[in-house]
Structure 1
């Protein structure tokens, strides 16, 4: 397995696990491979896969319809002390 196959296989798997459909995950993985081929270096040492995953995730989110997007996790709100004006 070479670098390109590794990136394509693992990014597709990560996107499917995040809730994207298989065609969207495959398209994102292909977009990530194209980014890998064009990039001269990573944003920081050892982060080329993370950069490719970020590009694939953004591509998948922008090309998904409302029905294809994975559900977002609800954030728990943190309350500090009492809520009063005085």
Structure 2
């Protein structure tokens, strides 16, 4: 398995676990592979996968509709019963 296929597979799986659609996750994986090919070094030693995953997640968040983004951030609170 080459580094490109490793990054593509694991970034796609990670984005799907985070709740993105399969199409958006695939696009994010392609963005991650593209960034990996263009990078000269990671931000910290041994963190190149984290860097490309962060880039893919930011790209995927920009591909969502505004209504989808609002639903993720919306805090769902349960009605607390009163003391009496």
**TM-score in terms of structure 1 length:** 0.78
Query: Match for residue 54 of structure 1?
Result: 54
Task: Write the distance in 1 (CA, Å) between the matches of 2:46 and 2:21.
Answer: 28
Question: Is there any run of 5+ residues in structure 2 with no aligned partner, and where?
Answer: 76-84
Question: Is there any run of 5+ residues in structure 1 with no aligned partner, and where?
Answer: 75-86
Query: Match for residue 14 of structure 1?
Result: 14
Shift of 1:66: 3.2
Aligned residues: 74
**TM-score in terms of structure 2 length:** 0.80
Q: Which moved more, 1:5-14 or 1:64-73?
A: 64-73
Shift of 1:27: 0.3
- CA-based RMSD: 1.7
Task: Write the distance in 1 (CA, Å) between the matches of 2:74 and 2:58.
Answer: 17
> Contact 1:20 / 1:68 at 8 angstroms: preserved in 2?
no
Task: Write the distance in 1 (CA, Å) between the matches of 2:19 and 2:31.
Answer: 18
